[in-house]
């Protein structure tokens, strides 16, 4: 508890002053300067703990904490730039659902809350979402398909989708694509999922990291560590997100 309070006090000092010299100057009184007649000497006495009006802070502690806070700030800014959903005014349930999953799918790891931290010491969790969309293309043809969300995030800029400039639609390059009017069906394995198209009971996807099967049949269970979540949306005829969580011991 004392260590936490000490760190909090140091953080308050570090964020308040730009440099260690600024902190030292704040501890010097006009009386000190009157008698010492040397600002540099006054700073040295404060640094050594002989003078000063507040808590003593070592130079190395100040500078180390200042650097740590700056690194954390830059990392946060970089993360915000990476997440294309950050700062967007998302109105539709589908886009909000994608935004909730963007960081985990983009980084290849599952964000853990406080109740999950114990498991994090022994298990490495990864989220790999599959998006099902059924709608009409620009020619009015009905299409549907399954999208490997993590793979698409790595190969495409989702800014146009989260900003509403374009709609996310399945393509012939996704893990599954079907044009109902033209009767064109295409399947492709992705870096994350292997397609099992010859299954008599329907289409299956095998997650390559843990080799677990994801069953996308709405009448069947999606499989171990997988969930099927229908998304009410005004953007598409139908939208479903399958979340698969891979657990591996570390």
* pTM as predicted: 0.65
Contact (CB, 8 A) for 26 and 54: yes
What pLDDT, on the 0 to 100 scale, is given for residue 96? 96
Burial of 90 (0-12, 13-18, 19+ CB in 10 A): middle
In the chain, pLDDT over 90 holds for what percent of residues? 53
pLDDT of residue 23: 73
Q: Which class for 52: exposed (0-12), middle (13-18), buried (19 or more C-beta within 10 A)?
A: buried
What mean pLDDT do residues 222-245 have?
A: 96
DSSP string, the chain: -HHHHHHHHHHHHHHH-SSHHHHHHHH--HHHHHHH--HHHHHHHHHHTSS-SS----HHHHHHHHHHHHHHHHHHHHHHHH-TTTT----SHHHHHHHHHHHHHHHTS----GGGHHHHTTEEEEEEEEEEEEEE-TTS-EEEEEEEHHHHHHHS-THHHHTTSS-----TTSSEEEETTTTEEEE---SSEEEE---TT--EEEETTT--EEE--TTS---TTEEEEE---SSSSEEEEEEEEEEEE-
**Token code pair at residue 5:** 């309070």
pLDDT category, 170, cuts 50, 70, 90? very high
pLDDT in tens, 29-59: 666 666 666 677 767 776 776 665 566 777 7
Q: State how far the Cα of 83 lies from the Cα of 86, in Å rounded to an integer.
A: 6
Residue 198 has pLDDT above 60, yes or no: yes
More confident residue, 133 or 79: 133
The percentage of residues in the chain with a pLDDT greater than 70, rounded to a whole number, is: 75
Report the chain's mean pLDDT, rounded to a whole number: 82
Alpha carbon distances (Å) from 40 to 24, 47, 123, 125, 130: 10, 11, 54, 54, 63
Higher pLDDT, residue 249 or 37: 37
pLDDT of residue 51: 64
- Return the pLDDT at 68: 82
- For 101-154, write each residue's pLDDT tens digit: 999 998 876 654 434 434 333 446 889 999 999 999 999 999 999 999 999 999
Instruction: For 230-246, give one letter per residue: b (16+ CB within 10 A) or e.
Output: ebebebbeebbbbbbbb
């Amino acid at each position: 508890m004392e260590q936490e309070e000490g760190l909090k006090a140091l953080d308050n000092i570090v964020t308040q002053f730009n440099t260690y010299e600024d902190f030292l100057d704040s501890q010097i009184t006009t009386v000190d300067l009157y008698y010492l007649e040397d600002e540099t000497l006054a700073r040295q006495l404060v640094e050594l703990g002989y003078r000063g009006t507040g808590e003593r802070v070592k130079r190395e502690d100040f500078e180390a904490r200042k650097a740590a806070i700056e690194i954390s700030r830059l990392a946060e800014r970089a993360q915000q730039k990476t997440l294309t959903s950050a700062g967007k005014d998302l109105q539709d349930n589908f886009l909000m659902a994608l935004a909730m999953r963007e960081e985990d799918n983009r980084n290849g790891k599952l964000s853990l809350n406080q109740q999950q931290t114990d498991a994090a010491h022994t298990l490495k969790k990864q989220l790999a979402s599959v998006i099902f969309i059924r709608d009409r293309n620009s020619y009015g043809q009905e299409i549907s398909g399954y999208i490997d969300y993590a793979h698409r995030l790595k190969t495409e800029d989702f800014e146009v989708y989260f900003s509403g400039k374009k709609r996310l639609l399945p393509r012939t390059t996704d893990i599954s694509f079907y044009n109902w009017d033209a009767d064109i069906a295409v399947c492709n394995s992705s870096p994350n999922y292997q397609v099992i198209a010859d299954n008599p009971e329907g289409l299956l996807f095998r997650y390559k990291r843990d080799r677990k099967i994801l069953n996308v049949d709405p009448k069947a269970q999606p499989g171990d560590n997988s969930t099927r979540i229908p998304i009410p949306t005004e953007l598409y005829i139908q939208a479903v997100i399958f979340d698969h969580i891979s657990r591996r011991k570390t």
